[in-house]
Amino acid sequence: MSAITAEPKETRHYRRESKSGGWGSPIVYFVALCMIAITIAPVLYIILGGFRSNSQITTDPAAFPNPWMVENYATVLKMPLFWRMMWNSTYIALITALAVVVLGVMASFVLARYKFKGRNAMYMLFASGMMFPLAVAITPLYIMITKSPLAGTSWGVILPQIAFSLPQTIIILVPFLAAIPMEIEEAATVDGCSRLGFFGRMVIPLSMPGVITVGILSFVGSWNSYMLPLYMFASEEQYTLPRGVAMFSSNHSQDTAQVLAFTTLSMIPALIFFSIFERRIVGGLTGAVKG
Amino acid sequence: MGLEIGLLAGPAIIVFVLFVIVPVFVALYYGFFSWKGYGPATDFVGLANYKWTLTNKDFWDSVLHTGLIAVLSLLFQGPLAILLALLLNQKMRGRSLIRVLIFVPYVISEAIVGIGFSLMLQDAGAVNGLLHKLGVDQTISWISSPKVAIWTLMFIITWKYIGFAVILMLAGLQGIPEELSEAAAIDGASYWQIQRHIMLPLLTPTIKIWAFLSLIGSMQLFDLVYIIWGQYIAATAGTSTMAYFMAQNGRLSGQLGRGSAIAIIVFIISLIVSLGYQRFVLNRDTEGALTDKK
Amino acid sequence: MRSSLKTVAVSAVIAMAMSGLAACSTPTGTESSNAPGTDAQSTAAPAAVTMTFWHNGTGDKSLAYWDQVIKDFTAKYPNVTITPQAVQNEDFDGKLQAAMQANTTPDIFLQRGGGKMADMVKGGQVMDITDVVSAATKTAYGEGVFAAYTTGGKIYGMPAALTPEGIFYSKDLFDQAGITATPTDIASLNAAVDKLKAAGIAPISLGAKDAWPAAHWYYQFSLRECSQAVVDAFIAGSTDLSDPCWKKAVQDVADLNATNPWNQGFLTTSAQTGAGSSAGLLANHQASMELMGAWEPGVLGGLTEDQEIPADLQLFPFPAVAGGQGDPSAMMAGLDGYSCKKDAPQACVDFLNFLAEKPQQEGYATAYGSLPASKDATGAVTEPSLKSLLTGFQNAKYVVLWFDTSLGQDAGNGLNQAIVNLLAGQMTVDQTMAAIQSAVKSV
């Protein structure tokens, strides 16, 4: 089929991408288009609704903007509170993602490359976290955090988020790190690297696809998280965007158009972030689901 | 070596134990008190909170709804996601754009999805408006009619989470060596034969992992229900979930002791479901991660 | 558990009634001549005090009001700094509870009394202000107003506004439907509903998504069906609902519901948020009646296009019920008030007394669109629907606090949800009565 047959394994799926020049069957396109329409219509409704006026929305709920109004977006962009929430969402998501990656890689490295008593127990400990979802733990967490010095601080959201992201992180990363051939580690040892040196120089670069995947998943998870901030944050100065959107929509619900504009603007960063890294996520998950 | 292990794994273990494991015990403790959170918990009530929950019809309704959502999510999303992943795994123009677009709902927060859909699905909202334009004369109460509401919720859930299923399946498909399907094609197998007999069986481990993640997601469904139906009426509308019941009758009723007891009950239910799933379905796949390398 | 209810509920009767607001002419001094509480100013250079203050006035008018009040107060007490924070009403309880957990309770906070306040008192969170309410305040308010803020014989909160309830309606829509006289009994209410329907107007708007607006129909029917003695016993903590009047009230709600008088999709209609809310429907003439407390005009004003209270907004009292044991003039009401945290500085009490003075009371009534707790300030009530509410209140034979407030959050929620289930057709009359009974018993 293809002239190139002896490519190195690692780049296999990039080769596939590059071959996607041909046209598939029309049925495929039809199904794909239907799917896209259903997927995108509600999102478009939100985005376009922000360009309409309230009376436009009331008189004809399902129509295009006529005329287009930019005022709603302009008003939201001028709100200090919006930017405050944007900042809160950003730094909380960044710290969460960074900490999840660092803690996750270190723990996964131990699980994947060290042989020691209790390794299986440790893996099961983390894996059990998958069965104890945040939604269930939220009441006791709330009790603990409000009684602790973390009360009312961003750490009351960040630390639980990190903890609850660790199971999926470790489940995704361990296969990655385990897949690094023993020979590389041995070679590194011969070159005088300690196992920690091996960790720094070889493991981190080689597990990059998995690291990016877990990083993005925890970033997006934090960005969208609603329940933790709902319980932990009492002041709107601290609100992240999902909570802010909910608050804004109940405060301004007579102003549907502006609610839609606010909503649109608050989903854009995660969308951009994700679109850039989408391909890498697929790559990262491939390593994980191979087992 | 012990020190290395401690240094590397220690921080993760500490954070994990502190914020995931300890809360179980905190909940266990406070579950025995009638406690409204205004002062120290002193009103020991034994198993009263557990009894209250287990004899509450709304609780069992919420368990039923959660179970229904879990099963229907598997039935709706599974086949659809596999089909879409097979489609999108083909060579076609615009594939990467389609892949990004299909994933968009997953990236949007539940709060936004909930607000958007509540606006669209109001009696005088865009969906009914569109139906009127298309000549449908009826006004359907998508979210307020108890008969319709659970299906509306199922649609929104499918819409929201199908993208994640597709992307996971795609990742699984890309892990399958291309040589296999190429060889089959040379042997004269048709496209669908290849998908059915080669790709699908090899995708099974991915499907099992996705199903597990989907089950867990269903178990903790809260945001969407809370945003769309608010604090009070999900039970009446027939869309309350276990996590919703816990929030409603725990913190939102000012009953932190009872909320803790409900948390323990929900935890046990989740544990039974996920252990059962691991034992009977997932068994080999999770352990594979550890055991197939020496 | 049960014993705590007694103290809760005894406190909850608003016994002010007849004597209360009828005598409105007690003269009081102006704010400058009559400093309440301690004479903080006379002592030289008092130590600087900073206090935090949480209220729920997120609207522009109420924000401006609090800015002004704090400015005026600190002009009088220069050593005091007050940091106000407006908390979204729906978030208020959760936030306050978290603060009490973390020992970051604000010095001054909104207080609605009843069962929840009793819980806070039990948790040692609220200051006993029995002996520090100034004499001037006591005179201006009358003792009765403090009942909802009294538990175990002590006062823990300063009332600021009264929110009695009636049926607000749009005069224009009534005219349009050819309704000439406001309903006085259920038969005439049903007739009005029929006429409005015939005219293509949604008769009654109902925000059942928030549960309590639906339950208020049950409270009001109970008030009409049950004798004063039975209601008093309930408020005083009786969990025995065997008197047939309680079930009759459920039946009344079911009968009314059977005529389908509500706006479409009432189950997912919220009470106050937005044009699509039940208040929004009334404000924009999409529905013609709503059963609500005295905050209604203020809420409607925020929901119209021009941000004005609809000019045709009027009020009639809840109709009489044929054969009912309750007095037809009896009313149901809630209160807004403020508490100090247990160890708040003296300046907190000064602030509460300051709030109770005439100018602040008048401002409060105007900013929140409610009725002032102080009899001196009733002159600030000018809105027609509120004026008729005030008249009804002054003539009421007795006034009862919202059932859910007096029961406390949890049992109150259970009661409210039972009514929502009834309205949604998810429960029969018998099942609803059983659910109400078990909610009340669970306290």
Looking at residue C367, what is its pLDDT?
86
Contact A114 B90 (CB under 8 A): no
Looking at residue C128, what is its pLDDT?
93
Q: Is residue C10 part of a domain?
A: no
Q: Are residues C31 and C156 in the same domain?
A: yes
Mutation target to probe the C interface, by most C beta carbons within 10 A, among A233, A250, A256 is A250
Stretch (H or E) spanning C334: strand C331-340
Residue C322 is part of which domain span? 164-331+403-441
Q: Which residues of C touch B140 (CB under 8 A)?
A: none
**Nearest in space to B262 (alpha carbons), one of B275, B278, B280, B243:** B243
Looking at residue C265, what is its pLDDT?
84
Cβ contacts of B147-152, under 8 Å, gap ≥ 24 = B147/B238, B149/B229, B149/B237, B149/B238, B149/B239, B150/B65, B150/B68, B150/B238, B150/B239, B152/B117, B152/B121
Q: Is residue A53 part of a domain?
A: no
Q: Which of A38, A103, A223 sits opposite B15 (nearest CB)?
A: A103
Contact C209 B235 (CB under 8 A): no
Contact C426 B236 (CB under 8 A): yes
Query: Which of A92-101, A188-197, A228-237, B150-159 is predicted with the least confidence, judged by mean pLDDT?
Result: A188-197
Contact C280 A147 (CB under 8 A): no
The number of domains in chain A is 1
Q: Which of B7, B93, B174 sits opposite A282 (nearest CB)?
A: B174
Q: Which residues of B touch A164 (CB under 8 A)?
A: 19-20
Nearest residue in A to B248, CA atom: A139
Q: Are residues C295 and C171 in the same domain?
A: yes
Q: Are residues C155 and C254 in the same domain?
A: no
Do residues B198 and B184 lie in contact, with contact meaning Cβ atoms separated by under 8 Å? yes
Q: Is residue C393 part of a domain?
A: no
Contact B39 C125 (CB under 8 A): yes
Looking at residue C202, what is its pLDDT?
93
Q: Are residues C198 and C312 in the same domain?
A: yes
Do residues B206 and A289 lie in contact, with contact meaning Cβ atoms separated by under 8 Å? yes
Q: Which residues of B touch C424 (CB under 8 A)?
A: 146, 233, 236-237
**Nearest in space to C250 (alpha carbons), one of C435, C401, C403, C443:** C435
Q: Are residues C278 and C425 in the same domain?
A: yes
pLDDT 10s digits, B73-113: 999 999 999 988 888 887 777 777 887 888 888 888 888 89
DSSP string, C357-410: SHHHHHHHHHHHTSEESSGGGGGG--SHHHHHHHHHHHH-S-EEE-HHHHH-HH
Q: Which of B1, B4, B19 sits opposite A159 (nearest CB)?
A: B19
Quick one: CA dihedral A282, A287, A289, B4, positive or negative? negative
Q: Is residue A38 part of a domain?
A: no
Cα of first residue to Cα of last residue in chain C, in angstroms, is 7
Cα separation, A222 vs A162, in Å, equals 9
**How far does the CA of residue B227 sit from the closest CA of chain C (Å)?**
11
Do residues A132 and B270 lie in contact, with contact meaning Cβ atoms separated by under 8 Å? yes
**How far does the CA of residue C102 sit from the closest CA of chain B (Å)?**
10
Looking at residue B192, what is its pLDDT?
77
- The domain B68-253: what is its CATH number? 1.10.3720.10
Chain C touched by A272 (CB under 8 Å): no
Q: What angle do CA C128, C133, C137 make, to 5 degrees?
A: 150
Q: Are residues C171 and C305 in the same domain?
A: yes
Q: What is the length of chain A?
A: 291
**Assigned token pair, C151:** 């538990």
Do residues A103 and A164 lie in contact, with contact meaning Cβ atoms separated by under 8 Å? no
Q: Which residues of A touch C307 (CB under 8 A)?
A: none
ipTM of the assembly?
A: 0.80
Nearest residue in A to B242, CA atom: A136
Q: For the domain that residue C55 is a member of, what is the CATH number?
A: 3.40.190.10
Cα separation, A227 vs C313, in Å, equals 40
Q: What is the length of chain C?
A: 443
Cα separation, B228 vs B230, in Å, equals 6
Looking at residue A7, what is its pLDDT?
32
Task: Give the count of alpha carbons within 13 A of C267, CB side only.
Answer: 28
Quick one: CA dihedral C192, C193, C198, C201, positive or negative? positive
Mutation target to probe the A interface, by most A beta carbons within 10 A, among C63, C101, C209, C306 is C101
pLDDT 10s digits, A32-78: 888 888 888 888 888 888 888 777 776 777 778 878 888 888 888 88
**Nearest in space to C358 (alpha carbons), one of C33, C18, C17:** C33
Do residues C196 and C204 lie in contact, with contact meaning Cβ atoms separated by under 8 Å? no
- Left if phi > 0, otherwise alpha if psi is -120 to 50, otherwise beta: which for C283? alpha
Give the largest Cα separation in chain B, rounded. Answer: 76
Chain C touched by B129 (CB under 8 Å): no
Q: Is residue A18 part of a domain?
A: no
DSSP state of C185: B
Q: Which residues of C touch A236 (CB under 8 A)?
A: 88
Mutation target to probe the A interface, by most A beta carbons within 10 A, among B62, B84, B100, B112 is B112
> 3-state class of C287 per DSSP?
strand
Residue A96 is part of which domain span? 86-240+269-289
Do residues A50 and A257 lie in contact, with contact meaning Cβ atoms separated by under 8 Å? yes
Looking at residue C2, what is its pLDDT?
36
Q: Which residues of C touch A144 (CB under 8 A)?
A: none
Q: For the domain that residue A159 is a member of, what is the CATH number?
A: 1.10.3720.10
**Distance from CA of residue B134 to its chain's centroid?**
34
Q: Are residues C235 and C283 in the same domain?
A: yes
**Nearest in space to C386 (alpha carbons), one of C320, C299, C305, C303:** C299
Chains that touch C (3 or more CB pairs under 8 A): A, B
- The mean per-residue pLDDT over the stretch B178-195 comes to 79
Contact A274 B270 (CB under 8 A): no
**Assigned token pair, C439:** 């909610």
**Cβ partners under 8 Å of residue B39, min gap 6:** C100, C122, C123, C124, C125
Contact B232 C210 (CB under 8 A): yes
Give the A:B interface size as CB pairs under 8 Å.
316
Q: Which of B27, B104, B127 sits opposite A140 (nearest CB)?
A: B27
Q: Is residue A215 part of a domain?
A: yes
Q: Are residues C327 and C363 in the same domain?
A: no
Q: How many CB atoms lie within 10 A of CB A26?
A: 8
**Cβ partners under 8 Å of residue C268, min gap 6:** B118, B122, B141, B143, B144, B229, B230, B233, B237, C208, C209
**Assigned token pair, B52:** 């209250």
Cα separation, B247 vs B229, in Å, equals 13
pLDDT 10s digits, A211-227: 888 888 888 889 888 88
Nearest residue in A to B7, CA atom: A106
pLDDT band at A24 (very low <50, low <70, confident <90, very high): low
Chains that touch A (3 or more CB pairs under 8 A): B, C
Cα separation, C48 vs C407, in Å, equals 40
Do residues C281 and C308 lie in contact, with contact meaning Cβ atoms separated by under 8 Å? no
Q: Is residue A216 part of a domain?
A: yes
Q: Which of C97, C408, C426 sits opposite B146 (nearest CB)?
A: C426
Q: Are residues C252 and C317 in the same domain?
A: yes
Contact C88 A235 (CB under 8 A): no
Q: Is residue A16 part of a domain?
A: no
Cα separation, A8 vs A26, in Å, equals 33
Cα of first residue to Cα of last residue in chain B, in angstroms, is 18
Q: Which of C99, C274, C280 sits opposite A234 (nearest CB)?
A: C99
Looking at residue A253, what is its pLDDT?
64
Q: Are residues C85 and C222 in the same domain?
A: no
What are residue C292's DSSP bridge partners? C166
Cα separation, B84 vs A162, in Å, equals 32
pTM to 2 decimal places: 0.83
Looking at residue C10, what is its pLDDT?
31
Q: Are residues C179 and C263 in the same domain?
A: yes
> 3-state class of A54 per DSSP?
helix
From residue B88, alpha-carbon distances to A19, B38, B179 in Å are 13, 55, 18
- The mean per-residue pLDDT over the stretch B231-258 comes to 88
Nearest residue in B to C125, CA atom: B38
**Assigned token pair, B66:** 């959660």
Q: Which residues of A touch C277 (CB under 8 A)?
A: 253
- Average predicted confidence (pLDDT) for chain A: 78
Chain C touched by B287 (CB under 8 Å): no
Looking at residue A11, what is its pLDDT?
37
pLDDT 10s digits, C243-285: 999 999 999 999 999 999 999 889 888 888 777 789 889 998 9
Contact C97 B37 (CB under 8 A): yes
The number of domains in chain C is 2
Q: Are residues C148 and C69 in the same domain?
A: yes
Contact A136 B263 (CB under 8 A): yes
**How far does the CA of residue A244 sit from the closest CA of chain C (Å)?**
12
Chain B touched by C81 (CB under 8 Å): no
Q: Is residue A101 part of a domain?
A: yes
Looking up tokens 């002009």 gives C75
Spans of chain C below 70 pLDDT: 1-45, 90, 102, 443
Contact B23 A46 (CB under 8 A): no
Crossing angle of the two packed helices B146-174 and B110-121, in degrees rounded to 10 = 140
**How far does the CA of residue C173 sit from the closest CA of chain B (Å)?**
21
Contact C102 A235 (CB under 8 A): no
Q: Where are the alpha helices (DSSP H) in chain B?
A: 2-16, 22-30, 48-54, 57-88, 95-107, 110-121, 126-133, 146-174, 178-186, 191-194, 200-219, 223-229, 234-237, 242-249, 256-277, 283-291
Looking at residue C36, what is its pLDDT?
41
Between A289 and A69, the higher pLDDT residue: A69
**Distance from CA of residue A194 to its chain's centroid?**
34
Chain C touched by B267 (CB under 8 Å): no
**How far does the CA of residue B237 sit from the closest CA of chain C (Å)?**
8
Q: Which residues of A touch C99 (CB under 8 A)?
A: 234
Cα separation, B250 vs B267, in Å, equals 15
Contact C101 A151 (CB under 8 A): yes
Quick one: CA dihedral A192, A195, A196, A197, positive or negative? positive
